[in-house]
Amino acid sequence: MRANSRDRDLRDRAAAVIPGGMFGHQSTRLLPDDYPQFFSRAKGARLWDADGNELLDFMCAYGPNLMGYADDAIDDAYVSRMRQGDTMTGPTGLIVELAEQFTRMVTHADWAIFCKNGGDATQIALMTARAHTGRKTVVLAKGAYHGAAPWCATRPNGVTPEDKANQVFCVYNDIASLEAAVAAAGDDLAAIFAAPMKHDAFTDQVLPDPAYARRARELCDSTGALLVVDDVRAGLRIARDCSWSAVGVQPDLSSWGKCFANGHPISALLGANKAKRAAAQIFTTGSFWYQAAPMAAALETLRRVRETDYLEHMEGLGTRLRDGLAERAAASGFGFRQTGPVTMPLFLFDEDPDLRKGFFWSSQMLKRGVYVHPWHNMFLCAAMTPADIDQALDAAEDSFVALKAQAGSLEPVAKMSFLLA
């Protein structure tokens, strides 16, 4: 039995002073009941929850942990810069160096604006596209996540119809629907937004069809709209470049966040020169956007991205995990779908509409010290080792056995019943 008394105590206190007990994507409201809400420590690929239970972590902070938690060299770069001055009355030369390094690495990019939230970067992309074109309409793929600001909010509460004006939706990878959406925008198309892959929650991930990506590029070129790839979630786990470089398509703008400073708070919009004037015309800013320390951490992270095999290492581990899980799932007789890039897997069971199998199996993994997510894509990090993957595979084998023993008698997962609607 995992200890959880500290977590329970913290939840009780949180219920008093935090709406809903916790807000946003790190709330465990839609996770199995035994998942911890609070953590105490992290190092490399491992997390310890508030009660001290050690976990091999396949969420990687929902992405930010790219090179390993509490990476000494990256954190040293952060601290060294922080002690000299961090948030000051102006930026340091690091902002220039980071813009130079990042744009050198990302093929389509000539310039950079740095911000804090991934959603800041997507918001600035939208504003830049509107300023560039003098038009308003944006084409988005239905269900795609581009942040939690009202314009792209996934929940209606507190959001007005006007917040979501000037949007036309298409279906990801469906060229005809993309063309129809662009046609519907008429002469008002400012931008096409695209996730680098379909990485929506609760559903299989889908890799981009190169023909879809090329058609999006063509439609932008023929209309003068800007093509925006939102690489906040997938950036640096698919390529050392914008993720759509893997399908041979260069956007005009790309948004980045989460992991390019290995969890230190910084995001970015990168852009091509044709959108530079528009980007200079909008006013966008934030109290901490000029912080020097996250830029120092980003420079060290990007150096590692360029100079090490971190990506091939993660891909090798991801393939080992995928193959090993497929084998064990097949042996257990479960239809077990693993989708998305191997560095960002998502697991769903066949015939599991309210996720009762997924919840049970994930809880079994947790009991065995492996933190997986039952409905959101996961993230590998470069600090993982083959032995870590083997630990996960051993846990999975036992968890499939446990699921098989219980599968006939699983209770419905009431909190996920909205998926049945």
Q: Which position among 1, 5, 33, 160 is part of the footprint of a second copy (CB under 8 A)?
A: 160
Q: How far apart are CA 259 and CA 255, in angstroms?
A: 12
DSSP 337: E
Q: Which position among 3, 176, 280, 330 is part of the footprint of a second copy (CB under 8 A)?
A: 280
Span interacting with a second copy, options 44-52, 171-179, 239-247, 333-341, rule CB under 8 A: 44-52
User: Which C-beta is closer to a second copy: that of 91 or that of 179?
Assistant: 91
From 126, 185, 173, 179, select the one nearest 152 (Cα to Cα): 126
Task: Please give the residues from 177 up to 216 whose contact with a second copy meets the rule CB under 8 A.
Answer: none
Rg (CA), the chain: 22
Q: Is 57 in the site for a second copy (CB under 8 A)?
A: yes
Asked if residues 137 and 143 have their Cβ atoms less than 8 Å apart, the reply is no
Q: Which position among 196, 251, 263, 345 is part of the footprint of a second copy (CB under 8 A)?
A: 263
Q: Is 5 in the site for a second copy (CB under 8 A)?
A: no
Nearest-approach distance from CB 120 to a second copy, in angstroms: 7
Task: Please give the residues from 75 up to 134 whose contact with a second copy meets the rule CB under 8 A.
Answer: 75, 78-79, 82-93, 95-96, 99-100, 103, 110-113, 116-120, 123, 126-131
Phi-psi region of 335 (alpha: psi -120 to 50; beta: other; left: phi over 0): beta
User: What would the x/- binding string for a second copy be over residues 374 to 403, using CB under 8 A?
Assistant: ------------------------------
User: Which C-beta is closer to a second copy: that of 103 or that of 332?
Assistant: 103
Q: Is 34 in the site for a second copy (CB under 8 A)?
A: no
Tokens matching residue 358: 């997924």
Q: Is 418 in the site for a second copy (CB under 8 A)?
A: no
Q: How far apart are CA 176 and CA 215, in angstroms?
A: 10
Phi-psi region of 134 (alpha: psi -120 to 50; beta: other; left: phi over 0): left
Tokens matching residue 270: 């990168």
Q: How far apart are CA 213 and CA 238, in angstroms?
A: 16
Nearest-approach distance from CB 302 to a second copy, in angstroms: 14
